[in-house]
């Protein structure tokens, strides 16, 4: 009998969440990490990205809040935050008080701000993101708990009266696990550290939320993963991502979805969706039918949901029901996709966005507004704007929808003008 009630309650929540699903501008937005500031820009990278995201009609914006990059100097520059008059020590709470960060949170056109946050510690060479390559201890716990709590307090104090959502997230836990495994040789350490770190962060956010029951500002915790079907496995020269066949029993594989998610809590699960959207995991080759993009994404969103449902917090369940998986990153590199025989970026992006919207993802974040600097033979050209500030025209376009900017603007301003007739 209890099972029937639970099922009914879950269905009711799902229906309620589906009915109350906000409009597309409230769900779709942009991420900006390191990027080439176009020649026609009049301010810093973060402010410029915010302006252009808002101009495209998006009301969701994602940014990095940590010690490694300040949106003015190159990453790791010794001069980062030097212009900001920061008092020591640097913390995420102090970073969000810097005007260019603060303006993102205060911008009335942005309803949801997703912060990719890492606690900050000086390991001898200046402020840096928390180092997760060493065994988790009380020191790391105190660092994470104190700085996340301080950030939440600061957000409630400064923006508590605003009807906004701030989501505190990490960046691709699987990548961090892979890094830890390759550094230490210990998958167990990687899994344990990510579990404890995530749970500590969740508890800090939950406590801060409970301490501010009357705030209009909603602060949530999202845990971001990037691997669904692939695993991290020991390979001949270290750990790498691999598709492990069922028959390969001897080769143990790990990923955050299977090894971390069941052991932690979160209000929202963020999926960095490249594994689904950019190439089929079976072949890992991008030149596949664009129409299949959405099919793969829905398949993987369903899989994630089935594995993560039990870890969703009550607050997350109330907010999102059964649609608690957001797309934390989706994007296509022009140099890899625009010239594929099966079609370029636009049909793929349309298929992915359509699938994510139909599935009910509460947020869908596009990577990113400005191209990142060229980096050898790494995929390049994800930006809505190129280095000259131009909007690159893409193939398979119509008069109204010939670039990410025009297609997105059409979609966000009222119903996908032009997207329905993409070739």
Partner 1 sequence: MIYGPDSTAQVTIQAAEHLLRFGTPVPFSVSSPLVPALVALAANLTGLGADWAYLAVVAAGYAVGALCLYWIVRRFQPNSGIALWGALTYSAAPSRLSCLYGQPDAPRLLFWTLVLVCALAADSLRRGFSRRGLVLLICGLVLLIGTMPGSVTDLDALALLELAVLVGMTCWKGVWQDHLVKLSMVKPICTALFVMPSLWSFAIYPSLAYHAPAMPEAAVTWVRMNSDEPRVQGPVSAQALVRPNREVIDRMIESPGRTRESLLWLRAYAAEYLISMDWEKFHPVFECVCQEGEWCVYRIPHPNPAQAVLVSRERRQALKPIRGPMDVEGLEAYLSWAGRPEVVGVAWHDSTSAEIRADLGPADAILVREHALPGWRAVVQEPSGKWTPLEIQQDPAGFILLDPKTTGPTVIQLEYDPGWLDRVTPASLTKGPFVAGDFPIISTDGIADAFDYTPAPFKRGAVLTIFGRNFVADHTSVFVGGAETTPSYVDSNQINFQLPLSMTPGTMDIVVESDGRRSYPYSVEVIG
In the complex, the residues that contact partner 1 under the rule CB under 8 A are 36, 68, 74-79, 121-126, 128, 131, 133-135, 182-185, 235-238, 240, 242, 248, 373-377, 387
Q: How many CB atoms lie within 10 A of CB 5?
A: 9
With residue 328 as reference, give the H or E element that holds it: strand 325-330
What is the smallest separation between the CB atom of 17 and partner 1, expressed in angstroms?
A: 39
What is the smallest separation between the CB atom of 378 and partner 1, expressed in angstroms?
A: 8
Rounded to an integer, what distance in angstroms lies between the CA atom of residue 87 and that of residue 90? 7
Q: Is the dihedral of CA 101, 106, 110, 112 positive or negative?
A: positive
Identify the three-state secondary structure at position 96: coil
Residue 211 tokens read as: 């301490």
What is the smallest separation between the CB atom of 276 and partner 1, expressed in angstroms?
A: 22
What are the CA-CA distances from residue 201 to residues 37, 65, 207, 270 (Å)? Answer: 32, 15, 10, 15
Nearer to partner 1, 133 or 342 (CB): 133
Nearer to partner 1, 79 or 83 (CB): 79
Who's near 377: CB < 8 A, 6+ residues apart?
Answer: none
Rounded to an integer, what distance in angstroms lies between the CA atom of residue 5 and that of residue 66? 44
Nearer to partner 1, 35 or 316 (CB): 35
Nearer to partner 1, 108 or 245 (CB): 245
Nearer to partner 1, 122 or 207 (CB): 122
What is the smallest separation between the CB atom of 355 and partner 1, expressed in angstroms?
A: 30
Nearer to partner 1, 103 or 335 (CB): 335
Residue with tokens 């969103």: 301
Rounded to an integer, what distance in angstroms lies between the CA atom of residue 218 and that of residue 165? 5
What is the smallest separation between the CB atom of 131 and partner 1, expressed in angstroms?
A: 6
What is the smallest separation between the CB atom of 118 and partner 1, expressed in angstroms?
A: 11
What are the CA-CA distances from residue 7 to residues 12, 160, 316 (Å)? Answer: 9, 35, 17
Nearer to partner 1, 242 or 303 (CB): 242
What is the smallest separation between the CB atom of 250 and partner 1, expressed in angstroms?
A: 8
Find how far residue 249's CA is from the centre of its chain.
Answer: 32
> Is 26 within 8 Å of 78 (Cβ atoms)?
no
């Amino acid at each position: 009998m209890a099972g029937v009630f639970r099922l009914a309650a879950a269905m009711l929540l799902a229906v309620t969440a589906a009915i109350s699903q906000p409009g597309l501008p409230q769900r779709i937005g942009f991420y900006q990490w390191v990027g080439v500031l176009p020649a026609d820009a009049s301010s810093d990278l973060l402010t410029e990205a915010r302006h252009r995201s808002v101009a495209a009609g998006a009301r969701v914006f994602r940014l990095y809040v940590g010690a490694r990059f300040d949106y003015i100097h190159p990453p790791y520059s010794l001069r980062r935050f030097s212009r900001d008059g920061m008092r020591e020590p640097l913390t995420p709470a102090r970073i969000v008080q810097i005007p260019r960060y603060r303006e993102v949170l205060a911008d009335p056109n942005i309803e949801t701000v997703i912060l990719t946050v890492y606690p900050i510690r000086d390991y001898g060479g200046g402020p840096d993101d928390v180092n997760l390559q060493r065994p988790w201890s009380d020191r790391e716990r105190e660092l994470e708990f104190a700085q996340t709590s301080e950030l939440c307090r600061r957000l409630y104090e400064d923006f508590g009266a605003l009807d906004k959502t701030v989501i505190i997230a990490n960046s691709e836990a699987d990548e961090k696990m892979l890094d830890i495994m390759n550094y230490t040789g210990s998958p167990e350490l990687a899994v344990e550290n990510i579990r404890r770190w995530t749970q500590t962060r969740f508890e800090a956010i939950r406590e801060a939320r409970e301490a501010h029951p009357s705030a209009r500002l909603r602060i949530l915790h999202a845990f971001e993963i990037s691997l669904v079907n692939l695993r991290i496995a020991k390979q001949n020269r270290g750990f790498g991502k691999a598709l492990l066949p069922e028959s390969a029993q001897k080769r143990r594989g790990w990923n955050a979805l299977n090894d971390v998610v069941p052991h932690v809590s979160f209000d929202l699960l963020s999926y960095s969706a490249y594994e689904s959207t950019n190439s089929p995991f079976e072949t890992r080759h991008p030149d596949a039918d664009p129409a299949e993009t959405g099919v793969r994404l829905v398949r993987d969103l369903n899989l994630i949901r089935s594995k993560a449902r039990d870890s969703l917090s009550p607050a997350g369940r109330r907010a999102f029901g059964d649609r608690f998986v957001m797309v934390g990153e989706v994007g296509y590199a022009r140099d890899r996709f625009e010239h594929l025989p099966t079609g370029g970026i636009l049909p793929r992006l349309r298929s992915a966005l359509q699938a994510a919207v139909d599935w009910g993802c509460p947020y869908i974040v596009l990577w990113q507004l400005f191209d990142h600097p060229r980096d050898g033979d790494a995929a390049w050209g994800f930006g809505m704007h190129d280095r000259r500030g131009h909007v690159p025209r893409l193939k398979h376009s119509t008069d109204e929808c010939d670039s990410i900017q025009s297609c997105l603007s059409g979609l966000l301003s009222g119903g996908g003008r032009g997207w329905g007739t993409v070739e």
